[in-house]
Structure 1
């Protein structure tokens, strides 16, 4: 029985070391080194080659190295009956909450503007907005969405949340379903996207949705680049309906040098760093699920494949 680590373009050394430290008897292979495919029953991965796992006849579990699982579920060649898990980690959750708060404060205090003004030696001031006068809409009220909502509420913001199904979240005015989307958006002066990436949510940040936001609304996308229709965002910023955006995720990463986002004065870019998985923090739950798999026990943080999260 072996574990296969698959993470093209990433250095797996820290993952291997942590797994061996916390489970000394674990036999670990790193793709694409030579190994016996029939030995592998558990895979730990990020952005694996499409169709790879069809070659493992005894594979039972595919574990994501992070909170997202779209990189797994987008593979149409997954083995039938496979179990998929995601990472749920307090450190990731806290880091995401802190990041969103920093981007919100950056926007309402105009810090992004002042950074550029400094380079131009431009002494210019404008009236800032206070948290108690700011309404924030969060799309996606899962673990991360709830944590972000709690952080923002504690800092004085008015919080509105939207999800696919009805949820009752503390200190959040909640909306759900397509029929309540417009009312939710009308209350979102700052819109934060934390949705899982599914067939229903791909391209959801588009011109039609932006048009339902209040004039001058601001977009923060920390979910997936495929949620955003990039041309629509730039068009709505350039025509003045949106005041700008903070983007941490993109359709192509790294963002190509020629991409117009780099030079857009009202788009703030960060390189997918809102919350970074730390192997030391998350390997314990990976090891626990490995043991649960061996004992045929229910897995922690298992994904509902038909829902996509």
Structure 2
């Protein structure tokens, strides 16, 4: 019989002695053309809060036993980002570690492996969000240490550090499409900031939400001036970043029943974006029709955390250890 989790024999075990445990709390999912899919998870119920990253060359079946390859991490995995056009991607962890991984095919066996190309440990707390600029030469991260860092992906060093960037946890950072200098950030301090690294004072406030913290953001890939923001009350706000400190262009006060966790535009159809919250809800909105909900699903049994678009198919990953596919009508 397995020992009682509070027993002395269990407390004295090392991580190598404990039987393998599949990390069921899925945190993010990435889909990249020509590569496949990346799935990240954390172990939140064991004594050791580590994580796992799975790679799927064929992402039609997300059974863990059918993953092309996998890799364990020493702490929980929070978020990830693909470096488009390459076989590389980035993951960030609860410990504040940032890693760049590559997907390599072995010449002799034709099997795949995940190789760490470098890691850095500069955040003082968990990294909550990571985003890659279009050129893949820069990354931006935000964390629970109230800090935002801009990274050089070649040498993996922080070229810019803003500490504190906010006065509370940085919940989301998003690089602006078609830019290498501009990104947006949201925080539980109720502020959304627009950053321009070319300016001597790079930060400017684009909205201050006096009611609750801001929790998620997403750029419209076809309209680089349109930013969608979610807050802790479940509202969705649409902003024009050219108009600082102005009222939202549009808002949906009852978009979600709980705080928004992640938002993501469909790059194949810029009028569609998906969202999830601190619940089982998954919704897709139509920006061309006053944020009308065109799809809704509650089939997950725990919090939904990961969103990824594959053409008109939406993939969602949840803490219930499942990945669901949602066919969205065009």
TM-score (norm 2): 0.28
Larger radius of gyration: 1
Compare the two structures and name the one with the higher strand fraction: 2
Tell me which of the two structures has the higher relative contact order, counting C-alpha pairs closer than 8 angstroms and 6 or more residues apart.
1
